[in-house]
Structure 1
Amino acid sequence: MKAEKLPIVRFAPRGADSFYETVTGRVAAYFKNNHISPYANTAMWVKTFFMLLLYVAPYILMVTGKAAGNYWLYFTLWFLMGWGMVGIGTSVMHDANHGTYSPNKKVNSLIGHILEIVGGYSVTWKIQHNLLHHTYTNIAGLDDDISSIKLLRFSPRQPWYWFHRYQYLYAWFFYMNMTLFWMTAKDYLQVVRYKQHDLLVKQRVSLGQALFRITMYKLFYYAYILVLPILFSGMPWYLVLAGFLLMHFTAGLFLSCVFQPSHIMETSAFAAPVESEGKSRMEDSWAVHELGNTTNFARNNRILTWFIGGLNFQIEHHLFTGICHVHYPKIAPIVKSTTQEFGLPYYEQETFMKALLLHAKMLKLLGKQ
């Protein structure tokens, strides 16, 4: 398979005394002056235990037949597992694969492999999220998070089709199926595409190794999530399948509703590279580009912030991927005041629902030719 590397896009130099240089210095001073580690604290480890328990405990009750014959309890357990998937994805796996639990890489790697336990593959996730999304946010053709199926248009720079005018209505169905698609076909499709773009090299894995590992992980996942419940839950196979779908629909819809309002908004710039001297360049520096394509929401909602791993502080997350999310509420005022000082945008919405409504509005705008 011949490798075809992705085009190299360079951002404008940040310059001396730049916004990024200033804000990183101020955030570093916050941790130093307060004698705080930017990694996980005790509260983070307690949360980790809770999120794992939210997924594992309902599973154990269900697979041991404790809910046999009680349909309400049975489907409630699957529903809770869906929320457990959300918690693991946003508050555990996400931080671990960004390396923010500990300065010890082995600790981060070990916790990051929880993704394989819930049906994913950490190698493709790191390429899609850490490399492509965080580097090229909202740049069509490079940010894999906006490179979706043809039925969904997430950028004004993507092709338009007549059916996109209805996407603000039907997008939610595809959001609901996000994790189900991920746990079945997405990892296979991605790893082949990433091999074609020569992106597996830095992950130190060959295509053959990746395909083998994905297959083994998927077999393990479907063995415990479907086969064991069919054998031991005391419920017929079709109810096991229904519970499995309920879990994924719950997790997929909510995760999408957390991710999408962070970037697919009317305020987002969706800037494209310009050709200069045979090279593709962005007019803004990387940090300024991130500010122009990212939105925070519900910063004062402590429960939501706790449960979704601070992903409502998306600006802070994009600028400081190496800092554990439990610190975002404290560094957010530093970031916001620095953006104001430099005359840069700091987009935020007061509530989660308002952010969702504005995202739906953006889907409708993107549906217009």
Structure 2
Amino acid sequence: MPSTLHAPAPAVPARPAGSDFAPLARRVRGSGLLDRRRGYYVRAVALNLAATAALWCAVAWAGDGWWTVLLGVPLAVVAARTAFLGHDAGHRQIARTARGNRVLGLVLGNLLLGMGHGWWSDKHNRHHANPNHVGKDPDVGEGVLAWTAEQADRQRGVLRWVARHQALLFFPLLTLEGVNLKVGSVLFLRGRPRRVQLVEGGLLLVHAVGYAALAFALLPAAQAIALMAVQHAVFGVHLGAVFAPNHKGMAMPGPGERWDHLRRQVLTSRNVRGGPLTDWFMGGLNYQIEHHLFPGVPRCNLRRLRPLVREHCAAVGVPYAETGLVASYREALRHMREVGEPLR
């Protein structure tokens, strides 16, 4: 086995860089799908805030029994909707100006979620620029999990054991992702300009104090801690279940390989088929190919964009990967199992 395991890149005809994307881009611009959907986002933000407030009212109404802790589950689901809206603001899908989207991102991310908008934007933009490219995409960088056999071979101690069994441990580990996102947001502020630290750090602090104060004001200490633990665990699993199918197990450019924009985004991404329920559960990110090609397209327009992209990929001979939700998890976990196989 080679020292670095890459998902095999589909065989596609070589084309001059940039020659295949431009016609699709012109067609999409002419379709109006890039236009802002202000009404959609006003409704989405308003409903999300109302649902969040209603759930905390339910916590107050339910009282201090241990059954109240189960409300951490819907709180996590609503928090994931907040994260999806923050994601859209980060891609400037909502407001007309960069400043307006940044303000929305700070409110939705830092203030309401305790997840840094600046940290997420920096990490996510690097991912979009070079998806699934080791050394460039932070989502396949070295960490607790290994995405290539080379990374797995470098793991030591407990991390080596994790890499060996990572396919089985993936979803259990996601229960820690909610906390990890908050820790990463705070660590990102080190060395940042003073103004960024004050604004983003201040909002993160307001969130932490307000969140803890609300939980402990409504519930005894033990139940409050349990409620927060359940919410963070389910939130992490929910986000991980949304992001895992998007790229894991898809093609990974090898060292020195350079693909044009169309192939760099399409060959590394996987769509998940489904109807309105899948769209809701995955926040529209089940249309990952379309989102990567046109990150500024409002989420609610991605379903309408899909036929244009499929047709264009077929015309230029670029494979378009799409599968069901369960099959997408199977493919992602298969890749993780193959990466850890040499360690067993």
Separation in structure 2 between the aligned mates of residue 25 and residue 156 of structure 1, nearest angstrom: 40
Does 2:82 align with 1:88? Answer: yes
1:109 Cα offset (Å): 2.2
1:106 aligns with 2:81: no
The 1:320/1:156 distance shift into structure 2, 3 A limit, reads farther
Greater per-residue helix proportion: 2
Equivalent position of 2:141 in the other structure = 147
* Cα deviation digits, residues 241-278 of structure 1 (max 9, x gap): 1100100111100110110110012xx2211342xxxx
| Of 213-222 and 243-252, the range deviating more from structure 2 | 213-222
- Superposed counterparts of 1:197-346, under 5 Å: 206=193, 208-230=194-216, 232-233=217-218, 235-265=219-249, 268-274=250-256, 282-298=257-273, 300-346=274-320
Aligned to 1:119: 114
User: Any idea what SS the aligned residue of 1:367 has?
Assistant: helix
Q: How has the CA–CA distance of structure 1 residues 358 and 37 changed in structure 2, closer, same or farther, with 3 Å as cutoff? A: closer
How far has the Cα of 1:308 moved from its partner?
Answer: 2.8
Distance 2:187 2:103 in 1: 25
Query: C-alpha distance in 2, partners of 1:148/1:249?
Result: 23
CA RMSD between the two structures: 2.2
**Which whole-Å CA distance do the structure 2 matches of 1:135 and 1:13 have between them?**
20
Could you tell me which amino acid in structure 2 is paired with residue 182 of structure 1? L
Are the equivalent residues in 2 in contact too, given 1:138–1:155 (CA < 8 A)? no
> What's the CA shift for 1:214?
4.7
Q: Secondary structure at the match of 2:47?
A: helix
Name stretches of at least 5 consecutive residues in structure 1 with no aligned partner. Answer: 1-11, 196-204, 275-281
Give 1:54 shift.
2.6
Tell me, which stretches of 5 or more residues in structure 2 are unaligned?
1-13
Indicate conservation of the 8 Å contact 1:82/1:248, yes or no: yes
Q: Match for residue 172 of structure 1?
A: 171
Report the CA distance between 1:159 and its aligned residue. Answer: 4.1
- Kindly tell me the number of residue pairs found equivalent between the two proteins: 321
| 1:189–1:156 CA distance, 2 compared to 1 (3 A) | farther
Q: Distance in 2 between matches of 1:60 and 1:155?
A: 46
Could you tell me whether the CA contact under 8 Å between 2:119 and 2:184 is conserved in 1? no
Shift of 1:288: 1.0
1:133 corresponds to 2:117: no
CA distance in 1, matches of 2:303, 2:62: 40
Contact 2:270/2:322 (8 A) holds in 1: yes
Q: Which residue of 2 aligns with 1:279?
A: none
Q: How many Å apart are 1:48 and its aligned residue?
A: 2.4
Deviation at residue 286 of structure 1 after TM alignment: 2.6
In 2: Cα distance, 1:223 partner to 1:297 partner:
38
Q: Offset of 1:53 from its aligned partner?
A: 2.4
Structure 1, residues 155-194: CA drift from partner, whole Å, max 9, x if none?
34534244222111112122121121111x21233344xx
Measured in 2, the distance between the counterparts of 1:253 and 1:302 equals 21
CA contact (8 A) 1:140 1:157 kept: no
TM-score (norm 2): 0.86
1:225 Cα deviation (Å)?
Answer: 1.4
Q: Note the alpha carbon deviations across 1:201-256, whole angstroms, 9 max, x for none.
A: xxxx51x44444454233212212112321x21x2212101100100111100110
Quick check: 2:64–2:220 contact (8 Å CA) kept in 1? no
Pair 104,190 (structure 1): closer, same or farther in 2 beyond 3 Å? closer
Residue of structure 2 in register with 1:40 after alignment: 37
The residue identity in structure 2 corresponding to 1:345 is: P
CA offsets 1:11-37 (integer angstroms, 9 cap, x no match): x99646x22101111111222xxxx66
